[in-house]
Amino acid sequence: MVSLEIDGHRVEVEEGTTILEAARKIGIDIPTLCYLKDINVEGACRVCLVEVEGEPGLKASCIYEIKEGMKVKTATPRVIKARKQIIELLLSDHPFDCLTCIANQNCELQSLAKEYDIRGLQYRGERRRIPIDDLSPSIVREPEKCILCRRCITVCKKVVTAGIYDINERGFHSFAAPAMNDSQIDTPCTYCGQCILVCPTGALHEQRQDTEMVWEALADPDKHVIIQTAPSIRATLGEMFGMPIGSLVTGKVVAALKRLGFDKVFDDCFGADVVVMEEGAEFIHRLKEGQRLPQFTSCCPGWVKFAENYYHELLPHLSTVRSPQQVFGALSKTYYAEQAGIDPEKIFCISTMPCIAKKFEARRPEMVVNGMRAVDAVLTTRELGQIIKQAGLDLKNLPDEEYDEPMGYASGAGVIFGAGGGVMEATLRTVYEKLTGEKMKPIQYKSIRSDSYRELEIEINGELLRFAVVRGLGNARHLLDRILKGEVEYHLVEIMACPGGCVGGGGQPIYSHKDRWYMQVDAGNHRGNALFKADEAKEIHTAHENPWIQKLYREYLGEPMSERSRQLFHTTYTK
Ligand code: HC1
Ligand code: SF4
């Protein structure tokens, strides 16, 4: 251990700790616009300057390691003046459209300008002029708002392992972007949105065109507007209204959507239950035939795109079942239209998702059903929160209301899809019972819950089956490489692109916190636990026991993987 003094307080920390981390241990939060613990330790923004006794100049505390007996001052007139100067310099090359910026009131640069009482700009002059890239269905880049913190670069490189961004140009003209400043659509970006979660300003955000489409659809008397809510929304939307992380707001979300005027409010977890039926049947079929194993789950569009970009040879191993979002969309324009006696062309199906890649998925040509888009518009959790606010509704004070029939009741299995290991767990509950005739024990399926990587071995009918769950595309790459080298063998693998699963998705509420990504991962655990609690509160925990799913198969689909199911729900990826 090393002992030092920070602002007159003694502190003992491990060797190799930086001043910034040591200060945090005693409750001193040195400002930074670039630091992300273990991920982005670059000293790029220089806002974290401090004075070290006996050392010349000021030191960037996020990269400066402590030494025995060191005396640090984190808030002296010299330090404050230097930090102010750095913030002013950053502002001098910033577009200054704060009032209309997507990050307004959730921007770390704006917060620091306020904290440091910056009232005017001494440095005015030339500004960088770089066009916005808004060509992708999922992500928008506004490079003039880039403050060169490098967080997006390192998260994409180290956590996602896609390496989309780097610094373009030199000196004053620099900004973070794909090589040659290509549009995001011309890169192997997976649209996971993890870079959005760490961007300290409004330089990266989701494509917002769907919000307008939703308002227009709601106002159109010729449209029958229905909405499906993703599993994780119920565990995260409350945060947009000041509720604690992990608040479960299922009934309040329904109440808000009904007040907004949606003709029907349905649960995407119903779609997830259908996916369990189809994917479970597909797995049992592959297991019997010994074909295309391991089977990979395919409900995460970020992972599907990652596989298309980097693991082409594994595409035949992906489950052919579309995601719950798309399965639900397909049912809305066929089964529901038929049941409700509505022309499917008049149905406008909206989904609300914690994910920006879902916007891309909904627009994929593979997702068309009977010549129609299955899902017409996709709102992120953030966009949904905003729409609810625009309608003057305060979510936390709304009563709890119930989803509509016939696609509003889901089993607990459908609900846990949004949590770490949830898709695997939901599938195993049904597959195990179908193969053995017995219920799987909670102790068995709970062991697969994870925010990064977990394995499970179970003997089923005398055969040892191996399962793996992996969250985060960097972790996925590691596992896939091991599978390809023959170092590990599995029968079924769940991959979700975001750390913690959908609860950590790129469309979830963003914290204006100085270490955003870690905050988000932590939040992910609380949110995931809320979904597991929601499962516990349900009477039915398996998709095949959901009476509404039984009715759907009895009256409309026949069996899982029937001809109709295949036509509506199954696809292949060939890119
Ligand atoms: Fe997910 Fe899914 S769980 S992918 O994380 O399979 O986005 O919440 O909606 O489609 O159900 C996301 C969440 C979501 C789908 C389901
Ligand atoms: Fe990288 Fe994901 Fe951002 Fe694309 S969306 S640039 S893959 S972090």
Instruction: Give the SS3 label for residue 299.
Output: coil
| Alpha-carbon span 21 to 518, nearest angstrom | 14
Q: Is the pLDDT of residue 447 over 90?
A: no
| Contact assessment for residue 451 and residue 528, using Cβ atoms and an 8 Å cutoff | yes
Atom of ligand 1 nearest to the CA of 358: 7
Q: Is the pLDDT of residue 77 over 90?
A: yes
Q: Is 157 a catalytic residue?
A: no
Asked which of 177, 207, 237 is the last residue of a domain, the reply is: 207
- 507 and 419 fall within a common domain: yes
Q: How far is the CA of 122 from the centre of ligand 2 (A)?
A: 36
Q: Which long-range contacts (CB under 8 A, 24 or more apart) does 96-103 make?
A: 101/145, 101/201, 101/202, 102/202, 102/205, 102/208, 103/145, 103/199, 103/201, 103/202, 103/205
Q: Is the pLDDT of residue 325 over 70?
A: yes
Q: How far is the CA of 159 from the centre of ligand 2 (A)?
A: 10
563 is a domain residue: yes
* Preceding omega of 294 cis (within 30 degrees of 0): yes
Q: How far is the CA of 155 from the centre of ligand 1 (A)?
A: 22
By CB atoms closer than 10 A (0-12, 13-18, 19+), residue 8 is exposed
CA 411, 412, 413, 415 torsion-angle sign = positive
Atom of ligand 2 nearest to the CA of 191: 5
Ligand nearest to the CA of 272: 1
Q: How far is the CA of 329 from the centre of ligand 2 (A)?
A: 26
- 267 and 396 fall within a common domain: yes
Please give the residue that has the higher pLDDT: either 514 or 282.
Answer: 282
CA 238, 242, 247, 252 torsion-angle sign = negative
67 confidence band (pLDDT: 50, 70, 90): very high
514 confidence band (pLDDT: 50, 70, 90): low
Q: Is the pLDDT of residue 194 over 70?
A: yes
Determine the pLDDT at residue 517.
Answer: 62
- 430 and 340 fall within a common domain: yes
- Both tokens of 32, joined, read 């930074």
Alpha carbons within 13 A on the beta-carbon side of 97: 9
| Contact assessment for residue 255 and residue 401, using Cβ atoms and an 8 Å cutoff | yes
Identify the active-site residue in 45, 107, 199, 502. 502
| Contact assessment for residue 433 and residue 545, using Cβ atoms and an 8 Å cutoff | no
Q: Is 338 a catalytic residue?
A: no
Cα first-last separation, the chain = 53
Q: Is the pLDDT of residue 123 over 80?
A: no
222 is a domain residue: yes
- 454 and 532 fall within a common domain: yes
Identify the residues whose C-beta falls under 6 Å from ligand 2: 139, 155-156, 160, 162, 164-165, 189-195
Residue of the nearest CA to atom 6 in ligand 1?
299
Q: Is the pLDDT of residue 431 over 90?
A: yes
Identify the active-site residue in 358, 425, 494, 514. 358
Mutate to test the pocket of ligand 2, among 195, 306, 510 (most ligand atoms within 8 A of CB): 195
Identify the active-site residue in 48, 195, 299, 300. 299
Q: How far is the CA of 156 from the centre of ligand 2 (A)?
A: 5
**In the predicted model, what is the mean pLDDT of the chain?**
95
CATH number where 280 lies: 3.40.50.1780
Q: Is 485 a catalytic residue?
A: no
Q: Which of 106, 78, 76, 91 is nearest to 45 (CA)?
A: 91
263-275 per-position pLDDT tens digit = 999 999 999 999 9
Determine the pLDDT at residue 451.
Answer: 67
Asked which of 207, 241, 260 is the last residue of a domain, the reply is: 207
Q: How far is the CA of 149 from the centre of ligand 1 (A)?
A: 31
555 is a domain residue: yes
- 415 and 515 fall within a common domain: yes
- 217 and 335 fall within a common domain: yes
Identify the active-site residue in 136, 232, 247, 319. 319
81 is a domain residue: no
Q: Is 358 a catalytic residue?
A: yes
Identify the active-site residue in 279, 383, 425, 494. 279
Q: Is 361 a catalytic residue?
A: yes
Q: Kindly report which listed range (180-189, 303-312, 474-483, 523-532) carries the lowest average pLDDT score.
A: 523-532
Determine the pLDDT at residue 134.
Answer: 97
Determine the pLDDT at residue 449.
Answer: 84
Identify the active-site residue in 21, 42, 144, 282. 282
Alpha carbons within 13 A on the beta-carbon side of 365: 3
Q: Which of 277, 279, 213, 287 is nearest to 545 (CA)?
A: 277
- 532 and 556 fall within a common domain: yes
Asked which of 192, 207, 222 is the last residue of a domain, the reply is: 207
Determine the pLDDT at residue 21.
Answer: 94
CATH number where 63 lies: 3.10.20.740
Atom of ligand 2 nearest to the CA of 196: 3
Please give the residue that has the higher pLDDT: either 520 or 28.
Answer: 28
Determine the pLDDT at residue 96.
Answer: 87
Q: Is 42 a catalytic residue?
A: no
Give the position of tokens 């709102």.
Answer: 379
By CB atoms closer than 10 A (0-12, 13-18, 19+), residue 459 is exposed
- Both tokens of 298, joined, read 């395919």
Q: Is 55 a catalytic residue?
A: no
- 454 and 315 fall within a common domain: yes
515-572 per-position pLDDT tens digit = 666 666 677 788 999 999 999 999 999 999 999 999 999 999 999 999 999 999 999 9
Determine what percent of the chain falls in helix, strand and coil, rounding each to the nearest 5: 45, 15, 40
User: How many domains does the chain divide into?
Assistant: 3
- 342 and 366 fall within a common domain: yes
Determine the pLDDT at residue 518.
Answer: 65
202 confidence band (pLDDT: 50, 70, 90): very high
- Both tokens of 15, joined, read 């060797």
| Contact assessment for residue 523 and residue 511, using Cβ atoms and an 8 Å cutoff | yes
456-508 per-position pLDDT tens digit = 999 999 999 999 999 999 999 999 999 999 999 999 999 999 988 999 999 99
Atom of ligand 1 nearest to the CA of 496: 5
Beta bridge partners of 457: 466
List, in order, residues 6 or more apart from 209 with CB less than 8 Å away: none
83 is a domain residue: no
Instruction: Give the SS3 label for residue 2.
Output: strand
Residue of the nearest CA to atom 4 in ligand 1?
300
∠ Cα 182 298 532 (to 5°): 115
574 is a domain residue: no
472 is a domain residue: yes
Residue type (1 letter), 282: E
Mutate to test the pocket of ligand 1, among 232, 360, 427 (most ligand atoms within 8 A of CB): 232
212-246 per-position pLDDT tens digit = 999 999 999 999 999 999 999 999 999 999 999 99
Q: Is 189 a catalytic residue?
A: no
Mutate to test the pocket of ligand 2, among 150, 155, 194, 358 (most ligand atoms within 8 A of CB): 194
- 461 and 543 fall within a common domain: yes
Give the position of tokens 């502002």.
Answer: 91
128-173 per-position pLDDT tens digit = 899 999 999 999 999 999 999 999 999 999 999 999 999 999 988 9
- 172 and 309 fall within a common domain: no
Please give the residue that has the higher pLDDT: either 452 or 414.
Answer: 414
400 is a domain residue: yes
Domain range spanning residue 419? 211-569
The stretches of 230-380 forming alpha helices (DSSP H) are: 233-236, 250-260, 268-289, 301-310, 324-332, 335-340, 357-362
362-383 per-position pLDDT tens digit = 999 999 999 999 999 999 999 9
- 449 and 551 fall within a common domain: yes
ipTM of model: 0.94
Please give the residue that has the higher pLDDT: either 574 or 410.
Answer: 410
Identify the residues whose C-beta falls under 6 Å from ligand 1: 230-232, 268-269, 271-272, 299-300, 323-325, 353-355, 358, 417-418, 501-502, 505
Q: Which of 451, 479, 477, 485 is nearest to 466 (CA)?
A: 479
CATH number where 191 lies: 3.30.70.20
* Preceding omega of 406 cis (within 30 degrees of 0): yes
